[in-house]
Amino acid sequence: MLTLHGFLLGWAAYRHSPTFDEVAYLPAGISHWELGRFDLASVSPPLVRLVAAIPVTMTNAKTEWWSYDTSPSPAAAHAVGRDFAMVNGERTFWLFTIARWACIPFSLIGGYVCWAWGRDLYGVPSGLLAVILWCFSPNILAHAQLVTPDVGTTALGVASTYTFWRWLKQPSWARASLAGLTLGFAQLTKSTLVIFFVIWPLLWLVDRLLRRQSLPRREGMQLALLLVLGVYILNLGYGFQGSFNRLDSYQFVSRTLTGTLPEGVTTGNRFTEWGLGFVPVPLPRNYLLGVDYQKKELENRGQRQRSYLHGQWRDHGWWYYYLYAMAIKVPVGTWLLAALACAVRLHTRTHVPQWVDELVLIVPLLAILVLVSSQTGFNHHMRYALPAFPYFFIWISQAGRAFLLAMSKLRMAVAVAMTLSVGSSLWVYPHSLSYFNELVGGPLGGPAHLIDSNIDWGQDLLYLRDWLQAHPEAQPMRIAYFGNISPEIAGMPIETPPGGGPTKAGETDFTVPPEKGETPCDYGPHPGWFAVSVNHLQGVTWNIGADYRYFRRFTPMARAGYSIMIYHITVEQADEVRSDLGLPLLSDCQGQADADIE
């Protein structure tokens, strides 16, 4: 099963162009090895980037650091990434492929842990069910093929929790040490998992109290070792750069860590106001600065980042965003398995493990969902909730107990639900990043509900290139691509379609004066060939400076993957839509142009 999973990831990694954040993360990983610094892309810890960069550093890949910046802002990493793509040209795609392949073992670890924990809790059939859910989850397949930390975090997060649970079941110094090591490696993937330092001691206390056991001093010492090891590995991963700096040596930017600032002041340190500036921080400097900057981004002060859900744009997020996203991006068959797990549970109450064992599954799942849902400054990515998925898979894998008991109808229902789940995912593969379930019409219905990394993250540029090579008549092609590298690197034109008109607050507004040298004839539909990313069709303008929603009035004649729609527009079709938009007809524009020439 894991071998097949690895092949699926390897092929998809080869077929897709670098996604938006990957363009920043891979060169950042190279910088960690070559420069020995962790400034670049510090909004997330470096482990996945370090692993991804290993095979690339063994090639003669070109690197340019002229855009390098030591600030924690991700803008510098993205600029360095674009430079990296430009100097390496078309070879960039191969470099990202081998970097992605280096990250596949993270997902294999996650699959193995799902198997082992499901087996230990509910039996062998449940272990098999859990690993199938992991291996064929469209969301795992989507992100495990990328040079991003999401599946690395998800896999090492559940692996560390599994080792903690094994220590909890049978405490020993060896198991405590293993749990501490895995905790530390998990912390090196994403700062979201810092919550483990809080919930693990609480789980130990609750477990012992519910089992009416005392709190042995030896176990307390082992727990302390476990936590200290986790912090040690985290610092070791950064080479102890900036570890144990005093609190007053930091200038923070998030409201959480700055406190209330005077008008016009953008940095501060609330801890100095509390007289705690002398306290040494047992964390790497870039780790803490990255957490601070990430928090600033999530606070979305000034509403710089707009959020989209179910066709609605607004300047902040929704508390239920991740629940809504999971409802439509998790296969219907998986949700049916969750219902069947409840049914099996009702029929096997005397056979399941003590419910306190399951707290180690349920508490991290809920804690992660509550944590990400509480960040409502903006919402763009369901992937932030991905670390909760394996706990969900393992819990619902108890539906597999139907195969151990005399429950023929439930066995059949579980088999059907599992088949539906796997089949739905494979039907969309290798375009798993664009997966939506049947409730919303699959990937083609997805943009009405979610955008960004939920469907269009720049992954289909190579599919567009292949389509153009197969259709030489589609020239000239004008492209509105949502991505972090230029289509020119893939050998495609870089001319963009005409925009929908002047924009104001992200909306097309014809009361805004045209740009110098432009007239309404320059805006809106024109005849020709066009390729437009789904994000731009839904109103994303920030990375291209033009509104392309008018293309939704046309029917695409083809598509590249599910994230780029291809249009061939005639003069008659263009004029029909121009009339609806209140724009001059193309014939009138031609007459005006002729008059200007005369």
- Burial pattern 296-321, b for ≥16 Cβ within 10 A else e, equals bbbbbeeeebbbbbeeeeeeebbeeb
Contacts (Cβ under 8 Å, ≥6 apart) of 157? 186, 189, 193, 196, 364, 387, 390
Contacts (Cβ under 8 Å, ≥6 apart) of 363? 199, 202, 203
Residue pair 110/151 in contact (Cβ under 8 Å)? The answer is: yes
Distance CA(73)–CA(76), nearest Å, equals: 6
Give the count of alpha carbons within 13 A of 27, CB side only: 30
Residue pair 363/206 in contact (Cβ under 8 Å)? The answer is: no
CA angle at residue 377 from 374 to 379, to 5 degrees?
A: 80
215-234, pLDDT tens digit by residue? Answer: 788 999 999 999 999 999 99
111-158, pLDDT tens digit by residue? Answer: 999 999 999 999 999 999 999 999 999 999 999 999 999 999 999 999
CA 289 to the chain's CA centroid:
21
Distance CA(35)–CA(28), nearest Å, equals: 10
pTM of this structure: 0.93
204-217, pLDDT tens digit by residue? Answer: 999 888 876 777 88
**582 has a pLDDT exceeding 90:** no
The pLDDT > 90 percentage for the chain reads: 74
Q: Which pLDDT band, with edges at 50, 70 and 90, does 543 fall under?
A: confident
pLDDT of residue 119: 96
**73 has a pLDDT exceeding 70:** yes
Q: What is the CA radius of gyration of the chain?
A: 26
* Mean pLDDT over each residue of the chain, to the nearest integer: 91
**Cβ count near 17 (within 10 Å):** 26
Task: Locate 344 and state its tokens.
Answer: 């099996």
Contacts (Cβ under 8 Å, ≥6 apart) of 255? 295, 296, 299, 301
